[in-house]
Amino acid sequence: MNKNIARGATLAAAMAGAMTVSMVPAMAQETIKVGVLHSLSGTMAISETTLKDTMLFLIEEQNKKGGLLGKQLEAVVVDPASDWPLFAEKARELIEVNGVAAVFGCWTSSSRKSVLPVFEELNSILFYPV
């Protein structure tokens, strides 16, 4: 398993671990941005929309508890539209343009294979379900 991809962690533990790695730019912000990379359209939307909703719920619950490291979490949701190459483009956008501290998403192995080079190149972190 690649060091940049993790699974099965709670949101707070996952984000706390992610924040200690290399998230200095995210720390300077008022909020900690969290990428959500699940298909909201296309063939996988029926499964992945629920995963997106779950992440938004977890982020909301963590914010009710005071957030993380004294900051509120801010979800940045993108739709890769069940298109495996688009997952890589959207991952790059989340990291480079939106400045997310970590990304939660990529339910299928095809989507993870698509984004792996992006996360390795940009030294970023992906947490995925299943």
Domain ranges of the chain: 5-128
Fold type of domain 5-128? Rossmann fold (3.40.50)
Contact 87, 106 (CB under 8 A): yes
**Alpha helices by DSSP H, the chain:** 11-22, 24-27, 45-64, 84-92, 109-121
- Mean pLDDT value of segment 54-59: 98
- Structure tokens given for 21: 């790695």
- pLDDT tier, 10 (very low <50, low <70, confident <90, very high otherwise): low
- Mean pLDDT value of segment 17-46: 76
The pTM score is 0.79
Would you give the DSSP letter of residue 68?
B
